[in-house]
Amino acid sequence: MKGLFANISNTWVKTVGVYIILILALVRFLIYPLQAAVKDKRDAFADQQETCLLKSRLLQQAQQSRDSGTVQNLDKVRASLYPRETRASEIQADILATASKYAEEKGLTVLGFEMPELITGKKISEVPVMLKVSGSAKSFVELLKSIQENKKALAVKAMEISINSQSMTFSVSVSAFRMEV
C-alpha cells in the first residue's frame, strides 16, 4: 500500500508540477508584457492629461485676455479695413497698384500677378493678391516693410523665393481685409 500511495502521490506531484510550470510560463510570457504595455499606456495617458491641462489653461488665459482686450479705438480699426460696399476687384486693384508702386520705388521688377478668390468670413473677408517680382533681397525686404506700413491693413500671407543664376524671384501673397458687418 505504501508503494501505491507513493506512486500515486509521485504522479500527482509530477502532474501538479507540470501545471505549475505551465502557469508560470503563461504568467511570464503573457502577463509581464501586458504589465509593461499598461505602464507605457499609463505614461502616455499622463502626458496627454498634462498636455490637456496646459491647453485648457492657455485657452482660459486667451479668453480672459480677449475679454479684457476690447478695441480701444474702433474708428482706427475701421479706417484700416476696406468698407463693405467696396467690391473685391476694386480692393485687389488697389493692392496691386500700391504694391507695384512700392516695388518700383524699391528697384524691383514686377513680373506678374494673380487675383485669387475672395475668402469670406462672418465679420471680415480676406482679399488676396499674388505678386511676383524680381530684384535684390534688400529691395524685397524694403518692399515688405512698405507693405506693412500702408494705411490700410495689409498682411503678407505667403512668400516664396527662387534664386536663378542671374537674379532672385519673389512670389508674395498680400491680403487686405474688408468689413462685412
pLDDT in tens, 38-55: 888 999 898 888 888 888
Amino acid type, 40: D
Average pLDDT over residues 88-108: 89
- CA dihedral for 84, 86, 90, 96, sign (positive or negative): negative
- Rounded CA gap, 159 and 170, in Å? 7
- CA dihedral for 144, 178, 91, 88, sign (positive or negative): positive
- Rg from Cα positions in the chain: 35
| Mean of pLDDT over the chain | 83
Residue 112 parent element (H or E): strand 109-114
Quote the cell numbers at residue 120: 469670406
- Rounded CA gap, 44 and 127, in Å? 43
- Rounded CA gap, 131 and 96, in Å? 8
Q: How many CB atoms sit inside 10 A of residue 143's CB?
A: 25
Quick check: 24 pLDDT over 70? Answer: yes
pLDDT top residue among 140 and 2? 140
pLDDT in tens, 121-163: 888 888 999 999 998 888 888 888 888 888 888 888 888 888 8
pTM above 0.85, yes or no: no
- Rounded CA gap, 24 and 10, in Å? 21
Q: How many CB atoms sit inside 10 A of residue 43's CB?
A: 10
Q: How many CB atoms sit inside 10 A of residue 144's CB?
A: 16
Average pLDDT over residues 16-27: 87
The structural domains of the chain, with segments of one domain joined by +, span: 1-70, 74-179
74-179, which class in CATH?
Answer: alpha beta
* pLDDT computed for residue 8 by the predictor: 63
The answer to whether residues 94 and 175 touch, using CB atoms and an 8 Å cutoff, is no
* pLDDT computed for residue 32 by the predictor: 76
* pLDDT computed for residue 54 by the predictor: 84
Who's near 168: CB < 8 A, 6+ residues apart?
134, 135, 136, 137, 140, 161, 162
Q: With bands split at pLDDT 50, 70 and 90, how would you rate the model's confidence at 65?
A: low
